[in-house]
Amino acid sequence: MGIKNAAKKTIAYAKRNGAKAAFFAAFERVSDTLNEKYDYIPLSEDVLEEQKREYKSLAESGGAMRFSIVVPLFNTPEKYLKEMIDSVVAQTYGNWELVLADASLSESETVKEYTRVDPRIKYYHLGSNDGISENTNKAIEKAKGDYIGLLDHDDTLTPDALYEVARVIRKSMKQNKLAQFSVCPIRLIYSDEDKYDDGKGAYYEHHAKPSFNMDYLLSNNYICHFAVMRADILKRLKLRGKYDGAQDFDLFLRCCTEAALSMTMASGQIAHIDKVLYHWRCHRGSTAANPASKMYAYEAGQRAVRDVLHENGVKADVAQMPHLGFYRVLYEPDVFSLRSDVGIIGGKILNKRGRIVSGNFKKDGSIRYKGLPLGYSGGFQHRAVLQQDCAAVDVRCMAVRPELRAAYQQITGFEYKDTFYEGGETIDDRFKAFSEETIAAMSLKLGEEARKQGFRVMWDPQVIKRV
């Protein structure tokens, strides 16, 4: 990001959130940039050739599912158009079709030439521009694949993108002893991504995403790219024009909440591939380079989160966070009255220096964001200030729904007391005598018991206790 653009972002942030918050945000951003050590390393030709041989064997056996990659075009610069198409043509997995729906005024002679060379490329000139959602829906309607992937017109796929997605689907098919891809349990697959600096020719901001996390998704569209959905589900849901700018976020929210807002249905339906399969191009005017250029998109995202919750019977409101594109769900009077799937909610524990010492536990007992100063958001994805599911939360800052209070008493040895919604920032005196190891053990046992009973554990970092 250029100095001028960074300065504009800082000034805009200060106007929205105040000078102090802007100082911390700018300082953290500079630190993250200086400390970032990332470079995309392409797969070797030997690996790519091996993937092609594996695909050929699969195709000859008749077991190769078909992918449709749908792309809405609109006045796409020829350079970006060619690079996008070439990235699909270069896939090591060959059973695909590229469906291009062009809303530009004139037909693309460049694309027509591609279609003459490769019949897997389908080109439809729409004749009118009806918005990103409707243009994409027209491509979705034409798609004939078992699964459909969404690709932006100026971004690129890695050569192994479809190969990796196919592996996940085939594994699920084998485990469930299924023969028809249309009944595969997996409805959505997403991968890690990075950004590509179009001016410098460099890759940066590797986004290593977590496994599916319902409350994190309600806070931010972390799924983003590369996303592939089962065709029948995508054709049923489609994109909704009233959320243009955040149409993909609205789609992912609907796809995931109908499968996973109730914990009993979440398993095996949403898969994450922890590899970069998508390069998000960053160039002048793009949202990636200048987020404030598309404020309407973030307002659409806010509406999408609120509306999908309401459609699922959760009458919560949604507020924008200081960082654009990030949201906070407001549960009044409390989360338990609105969300039957949440069993425990907890906050973060700070030491006297204002650094995180506890709060959000991983399954192995380690603490997420440990040592992060108050005022820092946790990197370019700002995850340390967002509501999210986790393995366990600290018992010293915790509220538990009635169904789990007997377990709370058994594990802690104390009568249940709400230390999340009540008591201010002071630690409950009853826990002051316990070591951090004992606190962690109690917290993890409670988290495990909540999951056994089919509940989520939610972390809300805006609620603080201090030790």
pLDDT of residue 291: 59
Q: Which of 292, 314, 343 is the last residue of a domain?
A: 292
Sign for the pseudo-dihedral over CA of 201, 204, 209, 214: negative
Residues 361 and 449 in one domain: yes
Query: What is the Cα gyration radius of the chain?
Result: 24
Does residue 315 lie in a domain region?
no
CATH (domain of 100): 3.90.550.10
Q: What is the pLDDT along the chain (467 residues), one digit of tens a residue?
A: 444 555 555 556 556 666 655 555 565 566 666 667 899 999 999 999 999 999 999 999 998 999 999 999 999 999 999 999 999 999 999 999 999 999 999 999 999 999 999 999 999 999 899 999 999 999 999 999 999 999 999 999 999 999 999 999 999 999 999 999 999 999 999 999 999 998 888 999 999 999 999 999 999 999 999 999 999 999 999 999 999 999 999 999 999 999 999 876 677 899 999 999 999 998 654 555 555 568 899 999 999 999 999 999 999 999 999 999 999 999 999 999 999 999 999 999 999 999 999 999 999 999 999 999 999 999 989 999 999 999 999 999 999 999 999 999 999 999 999 999 998 999 999 999 999 999 999 999 999 999 999 999 999 999 999 99
In a domain, 178, yes or no: yes
Has residue 323 been placed in a domain? no
Establish if 321 belongs to a structural domain: no
What are the C-alpha distances in Å from 389 to residues 208, 213, 357?
Answer: 17, 6, 18
Q: Is residue 388 located within the same domain as residue 267? A: no
Alpha helix (H) residue ranges in 291-363? 295-311, 335-338
222 shares a domain with 365 = no
The pTM for the full model equals 0.92
Together in a domain, 280 and 385: no
324 Cβ contact list (under 8 Å, min separation 6): 291, 292, 295, 298
pLDDT number for residue 1? 47
Same domain, 82 and 185: yes
Please check whether residues 235 and 143 belong to one and the same domain: yes
Residue ending a domain, among 234, 261, 292, is: 292
Tell me whether residue 309 is in a domain: no
Domain boundary among 265, 292, 319: 292
| Secondary element (H or E) of residue 11 | helix 3-17
User: Is 19 within a domain?
Assistant: no
pLDDT in the model for residue 121: 98
Total tally of structural domains belonging to the chain: 2
What is the distance between the alpha carbons of residues 16 and 23, in angstroms, rounded to a whole number? 13
Q: Do 281 and 177 belong to one domain?
A: yes
Q: Which helix (H) or strand (E) holds 203?
A: strand 202-207
Task: Give the model's pLDDT for residue 283.
Answer: 64
Look at residue 241 and tell me if it is in a domain: yes
Looking at the fold, whether 60 and 205 belong to one and the same domain comes out as: yes
348 shares a domain with 239: no
Q: Are residues 215 and 86 in the same domain?
A: yes
| Furthest CA-CA distance within the chain | 75
Same domain, 63 and 188: yes
Q: What is the pLDDT at residue 199?
A: 86
Q: What is the pLDDT of residue 421?
A: 96
DSSP-derived secondary structure for 368-435: TTTTPBTT--SSTT-GGGS-EE-SEE-TTSEEE-GGGHHHHHHHHSS-----SSSSTTBPPGGGTTS-
Decide if 6 is inside a domain.
Answer: no
| Contact predicate 193/273, CB 8 Å | no
Based on the domain organization, do 238 and 374 belong to the same domain? Answer: no
Which range of residues forms the domain containing residue 206? Answer: 45-292
For residue 242, what pLDDT is reported?
97
Q: Which residues have a Cβ under 8 Å from the Cβ of 427 and sit 6 or more positions away?
A: 349, 396, 419, 465, 466, 467
Of 166, 188, 148, the closest CA to residue 91 belongs to 166
